[in-house]
Amino acid sequence: MNRVVVSADRVSTARGVVGNAIVSAGGSVSGSGPLSDILSPGDTHYDYPGATLLPGIRDAHLHPVPYAAAISGVSLKTAKDMADLQRRLRAGAAAAPGEPLVALRLDDETLAEHRLPTRVDLDAAVDSVPVLAHRYCGHIAVANGAALALAGIDAATADPSGGIIDRDPHGRPTGVLRETAIEIVSKALAGSHPVSADAVLAALRGLTGLGVTSLGAMVRVADGPWASLGNEVELLAEIAEELPLTVHAYVIADTELELGAARDLIDAAGSRLRWAGLKRFADGSLGGHTAAMFEPFSDAPDSTGTLRLSEDDESLARVCIEMGGSTAIHAIGDRACSRVIDLFAVLISEGADPAQLRLEHASVLTPRDIRRLGSLGVVASVQPAFITSETEWLQARVGALRLNFTYPFRSLLEAGVVVAAGSDCPVEPPDPWLAMAVARDRAGLTPAQQLTAAEALGLFTDAAARALGEPRPLDPGTAADFVVVDRDPLTCSPLELRDLEVIATYVAGEEVAVDRTLPTWND
């Protein structure tokens, strides 16, 4: 069996430097260490002088199909004001005449008006076709009049379970939809904007250009909050043989039948696509004031958010565990996190393996629940890049006291929690190096929660691999997934880390062909 040896100035891991070369055979790691001890006659040798070798980057939480849609679609994230937002919507509608328009990454915090648009604002831009503009968190959307009419939403429409239809003083819908209320419109638009297989493959190839070799993919079996993207499980199964990296699929399913069918479809696909388990939601987002909190938001004293956790989540979690999968539950507010931890404690008492349980986001926690997470042994899946987007308003939202335990990465690690990281893209950019830098410097926010360089690298390598059910990266016998970069994340500053460049990405011992012209983000 032909051996491939790849060398650089050093091989750095979250555990330190382990030589300067990696050897692989048959797609698996044979070993790592000094090149002089590894290289044998007949080996194929690739050398990268001045560079650093790292384990492949794992993104533990990413939405691949919405990400593909975001790259090529209408992004509102950098809209300066309502007029700029309306201009972008008009341009998007003009590019696809007569078709419903779905726009992503609306951010009311950065608009000059500092408010969400309403159906009136959207109608002023486009009133001839349905328009649905999603807030970047994915937990709030705004519909124009045509979209509301298509979905049958009017003053008489009741709020759905787990959702809110905002209304004006006369009871008329404003167009703002929160949580499950979004799905009333998205289902009405179902199938209107399917994402092509080529678009998803291009997006994933762009990720390998960022050094990502595995990801935890949050995928739906039907249209959901990001609207009109079709059955994401079927799409990934269609392209499974062409995937440039390993995709662990966490299925957003509402019934045992949906979950089982998705598992069977994924298991029959290519080896790069793996069924990981179930994804459910316990609450919403901080930005949208829909995260479930024990105490009211500091800037919205009448609101404690929306708790979505139900008996259905508990029963589906049990079904998933019986199937051998992991259960990942979205929880951002401290009340939602606490309720999910309660559920996990029950499941563990019934025999569930703690490694099968993931608390997604774990954004605001109480000190007691941080300790409980550590004692239970479950995974906290976090997104450091959230801090960058929320720096300007986070303290106003949660208050000074809760801020100390918001994105509490240091406290979690000190409590013994397995802390894995991802991007939640397209909520945030998929750049793992930016996220590592933020985990280290916190963008100046709550420096007591800063991580060391090795800990930050570990979030996206060793810990993320564990969260995805993979063995520790670069151990003998593991997949030969590694990355060549132009600087060492263990020694460079957070500022330098933000400018890191990926030179090459290897998956199963082979260099992945990366098209550097592919867009990896759209703002």
CATH number for position 172: 3.10.310.70
Same domain? For 454 and 408 the reply is yes
Residue 218 lies in a domain: no
Phi, psi dihedral angles at 292 (to 5 degrees): -85, 115
For residue 502, give the amino acid letter. V
Residue 277 lies in a domain: no
Q: What are the tokens at 383?
A: 């997104």
Of residues 180 and 517, more confidently modeled: 180
pLDDT tens profile 111-169: 999 999 999 999 999 999 999 999 988 889 999 999 999 999 999 999 998 899 999 99
Tokens 């957003």, residue located: 252
Q: What are the tokens at 180?
A: 């499950």
For residue 305, give the amino acid letter. G
Global confidence as pTM = 0.92
- Inter-residue contact 214 to 512 (CB < 8 Å): no
Is residue 338 pLDDT above 70, yes or no? yes
Q: Is 442 helix (H, G, I), strand (E, B) or coil?
A: helix
Half-sphere CA count of 127, side-chain side, radius 13 A: 7
Same domain? For 335 and 394 the reply is yes
pLDDT tens profile 407-448: 999 999 999 999 999 999 999 999 999 999 999 999 999 999
Of 188, 214, 239, which closes a domain? 188
Same domain? For 302 and 356 the reply is yes
Q: Return the closest-CA partner of residue 344 out of 334, 332, 352.
A: 352
- Inter-residue contact 139 to 285 (CB < 8 Å): yes
Of 144, 164, 188, which closes a domain? 188
Mean pLDDT (whole number) for 293-321: 96
Residue 523 lies in a domain: no
User: What gap in Å lies between CA 523 and CA 514, rounded to an integer?
Assistant: 22
Residue 407 lies in a domain: yes
Residue 176 lies in a domain: yes
Assign 3-class secondary structure to 198-220. HHHHHHHHHHHCCCEEEEEEEEE
Same domain? For 95 and 44 the reply is no
Same domain? For 302 and 450 the reply is yes
User: What gap in Å lies between CA 314 and CA 505, rounded to an integer?
Assistant: 39
Integer-rounded Cα radius of gyration of the chain: 23
Residue 270 lies in a domain: no
Same domain? For 482 and 464 the reply is no
Helices within 105-170 (DSSP H only): 119-125, 145-151
Residue 206 lies in a domain: no
Same domain? For 417 and 371 the reply is yes
Same domain? For 287 and 395 the reply is yes
Of 170, 188, 206, which closes a domain? 188
Give the pLDDT of residue 193. Answer: 60
We report the CATH number of the domain holding residue 325 as 3.20.20.140
Give the pLDDT of residue 438. Answer: 98
pLDDT tens profile 16-65: 999 999 999 999 999 999 999 999 999 999 999 999 999 999 999 999 99
Note down the domain range covering 41. 1-56+474-516
Q: Is 339 helix (H, G, I), strand (E, B) or coil?
A: helix
